[in-house]
A and B are shown apart, each in its own frame.
Chain A
Amino acid sequence: MGLNMTLEKCDVAIVGGGILGTTISYWLSALYDLKICVIEKERDVAMHTSSRNTGLVHSPLHIDPKKNNVIARCAYVGRDWWHALAKKRSLPWKEIGKLEVALDEKQHKTLEKFQKWGVENGMSENELEIMDSKQVSQMEPNVKCHSAIFSKRDVSTDYGILTKQVMMESQKNGTKFLFDHNVVNVEENSEVKLTFTDNSILTSKLLINCAAGHSLDIAKKLGLANEYAHLFFRGEYWVNGNQYDSVKTNIYSVPTNSQFPFLNPHLIKRANGETHVGPNAALVSGPEVYQGSTSDLSSTISEILEIFHGSPRKLFFNRAFLSMVKKEWLSSISKTAMINRVKKFVPSIRSKSFSKRGVAGIRANIITPEGTFLPEVMELKGNHSFHIINYNSPGATGAAAYSALVVKKLQDAGFLDYTQKPKNTIWNFEEIIN
């Protein structure tokens, strides 16, 4: 491509072909007659977090309805939506549920809270069963615990495959996917100008930033969220190489650290039948650092502090954070350290059986100017741009539903003044926006 060559002009440019950008493109292309381009730096959709995750369709029992009812609602509706698509197109879908175990009375109280939250978030009482240790051992003889909650609605799937299917549906509606295009600069004037690695340019009336671990960088190029920073945590997995399987369903445990609730490795049953342990959360220096560099904690920290500026640095004065970082680093270099965490509720598990590493994924967390973890998604609006930052778990579960809400927001903000198409969609738009 020649220097400064203008590639294309479009109405909406979506940066990021993960599950979020792809589902947004689907809705826009299904509802409106406009020119949409999804820009992705890799050669296909879902090459990053959207394929590199646990693959579970989560029920909203961990989400406090008072604090985050939108995300809870997206997870609830999202499950049925993915089910509809998986059924229609014969995609991976295993309704095996999820058992979340408590090891003592205090954790049991948390389970009771989760049951309440689940019901308030729309689940029916019989989808969430609290079990005592005896009932658990009847269901899963290898699990030892005080009590557990079994969520029947949870499903094992493959979000990479689901995203590819949504891409095809979106293409049928006219969306163009521009692969191998890395956005290196963004300018916003009367429209948005995107520059790629080879200096070629694309202009668009509206930019939707769905670049996940790179989304903050893009927003900052337009002068937004300057006081915020990204931290990256690598979630690693180990794969059971044995034929013998210790459990039949997904086994989670109650989060023990309320400051960092994402730190509890699980025993996962993948849609392809494999059993994995993971993920942990090892601090790494970038959104795509899938391997290596953790053998020396000091140099990792030092690398991160090199790129981590200003007041979010306060986080490093938090002792709980520093000791979490140390502990997670240990579980990254030592398989035994990771397996031992699961041993607490599956005593028969053997580190030896887990002979190879699974596909790691990276969680990008926003750190606020106060030096705290931002628990929810951050949406920012520019003159001709909309940015979605900190879109995390259970992000894949809720993606199609959350995307519909984003489209509604764009409508309300007056960004979508185009001819509407007759509604002929896989999912019912009104179901989530009303």
Chain B
Amino acid sequence: MKVKCPECKKDVIIVKNYTHILCESCKLDWEFKEFIMVLMRSDKTAMDVLADYEKKLQETSESYVSWG
């Protein structure tokens, strides 16, 4: 899975067990929570930095089990 740095748009490193997100080129180290809050603040940033992830979700959830 690829996720980009909101600052420099280079790929970030996701620290094992999802506790931290590192950008080597900006020398940034986010706590996971902090990183997601940055994404939540602006849809546009989120669009830019989130990667090729949805396809998998699409595949597993095609079952239309309705909510209620």
Contact = CB atoms under 8 A, between A and B. Distances in A.
A317 B3 contact: yes
A259 B61 contact: yes
A309 B43 CA distance: 24
Interface in A362-387: 363, 368, 370-376
A261 to B, nearest CB: 5
Q: Do most interface residues of chain B lie in helix, strand or loop, or is the interface mixed?
A: helix
Contacts of B66: 58, 62, 252, 255, 261-262, 264, 393-394
A258 B64 contact: yes
Contacts of B64: 62-64, 114, 255, 258, 261
A376 B64 CA distance: 11
B18 A310 contact: yes
B67 A298 contact: no
Nearest to B47: A319
Interface size class of A (residues with CB under 8 A): 35 or more
Contact of B65 (A305, A309, A322, A375): A375
Contacts, number: 129
A392 interface: yes
B56 A372 contact: yes
B1 to A, nearest CB: 7
A306 B58 CA distance: 27
Interface string B1-42: 101000000000000011000000000000011001101110
Contacts of B47: 319
Contact of A314 (B1, B40, B58): B1
A309 B68 CA distance: 28
Interface in B38-68: 39-41, 43, 46-47, 50-51, 53-54, 56-58, 60-68
A63 to B, nearest CB: 7
Listed residue (B46, B62, B66) with the most chain A CB atoms within 10 angstroms of its CB: B66
Contact of A322 (B3, B18, B32, B40): B40
Nearest to B21: A317
A25 interface: no
Contacts of A317: 1, 3, 50-51, 53
B63 A263 contact: no
B4 to A, nearest CB: 10
Nearest to A316: B36
Contacts of A341: none
Nearest to A311: B18
A323 B43 contact: yes
Nearest to B68: A54
A264 B67 CA distance: 8
A262 B57 contact: no
A319 B54 contact: yes
A368 B43 CA distance: 25
A311 B43 CA distance: 23
A89 interface: no
12 contacts: A64-B63, A258-B58, A259-B54, A261-B61, A262-B65, A301-B36, A302-B37, A305-B33, A313-B32, A317-B50, A317-B51, A375-B63
9 A-B pairs closest in CB distance: A262-B67, A54-B68, A313-B18, A319-B50, A305-B33, A62-B64, A375-B63, A261-B64, A372-B60
